[in-house]
Amino acid sequence: MASRVIPVDPFDLVVFGGTGDLARRKILPALFRRYCAGQMQAGTRIVAAARTEMDSAAYREMVAAALDEFDTPHAHDADQRRAFLDGLHYVTLDATGTQGWEELAALMSRDRIKAYYFSVGPALFGPLAERLHEYGMSDDEARIVVEKPFGRDLESARALNLTLARHFTESQIYRIDHYLGKETVQNLMAIRFGNMLFEPLWNSQYVDHIQITVAETVGVGGRADYYDRSGAMRDMVQNHLMQLLCLIAMEPPAKFDPSAVRDEKLKVIRALDPVVPNDIVRGQYRGVDDKPGYAEHVENAASTVESFIALKAHISNWRWAGTPFYLRTGKRLRARNSEIAVVFKEAPHSIFGAEAGRHRNILTIRLQPNEGIDLGVTIKEPGPGGMRLVDVPLDMTFTEALGPDAEDVPDAYERLIMDVIRGNQTLFMRGDEVEAAWAWTDPIIADWEASGDAPFAYDSGSAGPEEALALMHRDGRRWREIRL
Ligand code: BG6
């Protein structure tokens, strides 16, 4: 099975913040991979713009070094690499002043797709949008791509939405949540809505609870400044985990199109109950052996910002009333392990008697690593004697099932940038969605700030604080293991 590459029309892409970390780690390598895959046609122009004084030649060298460091293995040759680098332009530009804007405007083509990637802090979104308009670069073919964090609360997100709306319509604004670009996250929709098997059982009558875990082994090291102003709630829960929750809980959209999908996601967020303090556990990792703790990474050693969160959420609608959703994410945990587990209820009556034990089916969607799905089913334990039951996995690892193609899936950024060029907003967040997500997280954060409570400490390399285990134990449930 060969993956299909459909070339897109030539376009102009400007990466504001083109010398920054995200541009070097993700955006440029993603563009390079799409270039090598043959998706970009001759004439496509990629321009980086940033405050640093340098010329295009120096920029190309910088990108070459970034590719050496961050590009993942894929088929290409030296000529392709040279040609990609040669096609890059650089403009020294002052986002809040006038320097560089005329030069940039002169590079833009008329009558073709123009994408402006705001890979900069949100404080510059307004000035950039304004200047794009002022210098005649915001015509109907223009679209802007904005990175998270989209604000730090409802008020700032609303202000950002209003600022962008001054010069761009909602259909021109692409708010990135890179989790939506992950292949397996999209697979959530395929599994739910492409199969007859699951959807009839996908409700509180059959589902006992759902667990969403995004466990990371990385600490906050190089991004301590940013992270200590955000914490896990703003950095992960308000966006990535919320998006996973939406895809797992939403009603079937009538079509796989931007409005239908985003309308359904929004309904889920709006149906979330406020979370009571007793249903949340915050944690902060402490150092173990030679591994530094959170406090050693950040400037304020007494910081009470959380690097771990576990919480129980309820969705008040017909489908989910009574089925809790347990969300958990953290840094410096035992393993990099992200999955969604749909834990079904036990059969209402066991014909095999008490000695057969209690069993339930669990559908696990593994997001990373080792992407795949696993359905735990109950069968008879082999052998003579009584009827003893045992749970076994029906395990499908995508790379095994789909062959080499599944190993070469595009990175989330490759997929999302190409969707911007194609004008497909399905996998981007709409303004009202982002605001609704903040409206849910704001009171939780306000409670912590009012209480001043410190998060629970947990060891680097563990599964998080003990208190997170208790959050489920008291409901008679257990977290799934964070496996190495
Ligand atoms: C980013 C967060 O959005 O997502 C990081 O800011 C986090 O803190 C990262 O590490 C996780 O992304 P991935 O793709 O590695 O799971």
Lowest mean pLDDT among 97-101, 111-115, 360-364, 397-401: 397-401
**In this predicted model, what pLDDT tens digit does every residue of 305-355 receive, in sequence order?**
999 999 999 999 999 999 999 999 999 999 999 999 999 999 988 888 888
Question: Would you state the pLDDT for residue 243?
Answer: 97
End-to-end Cα distance, the chain:
31
**In this predicted model, what pLDDT tens digit does every residue of 458-468 receive, in sequence order?**
999 999 999 99
Domains of the chain and CATH, by start: 12-147 (3.40.50.720), 180-411+432-473 (3.30.360.10)
Ligand 1 atom closest to Cα of residue 338: 16
**In this predicted model, what pLDDT tens digit does every residue of 166-188 receive, in sequence order?**
999 999 999 999 999 998 888 89
Most ligand 1 atoms within 8 A of CB, residue of 216, 244, 309, 367 to mutate: 216
Q: How many CB atoms lie within 10 A of CB 181?
A: 22
Nearest CA to ligand 1 atom 9: 236
Per-residue confidence band for 1, with pLDDT thresholds at 50, 70 and 90: very low
**In this predicted model, what pLDDT tens digit does every residue of 36-80 receive, in sequence order?**
999 998 889 999 999 999 999 999 999 999 999 988 878 788 888
**In this predicted model, what pLDDT tens digit does every residue of 208-253 receive, in sequence order?**
999 999 999 999 988 899 999 999 999 999 999 999 999 999 999 9
For the beta sheet containing 173-175, the strands, ordered from the edge strand earlier in sequence to the opposite edge, are 88-92, 45-50, 12-16, 114-118, 142-146, 173-175
Residue 449 Cα to ligand 1 middle (Å): 24
CB of 216 closer than 6 angstroms to any ligand 1 atom: yes
Nearest CA to ligand 1 atom 6: 235
Rounded Cα gap, residues 163 and 122, in angstroms? 11
Residue 30 Cα to ligand 1 middle (Å): 16
Residue type (1 letter), 326: Y
Residue 244 Cα to ligand 1 middle (Å): 14
Q: Which of 313, 331, 347, 321 has its CA nearest to residue 242?
A: 313
Catalytic residue among 89, 167, 178, 240: 240
Q: Give the pTM.
A: 0.94
209 carries an active-site annotation: no
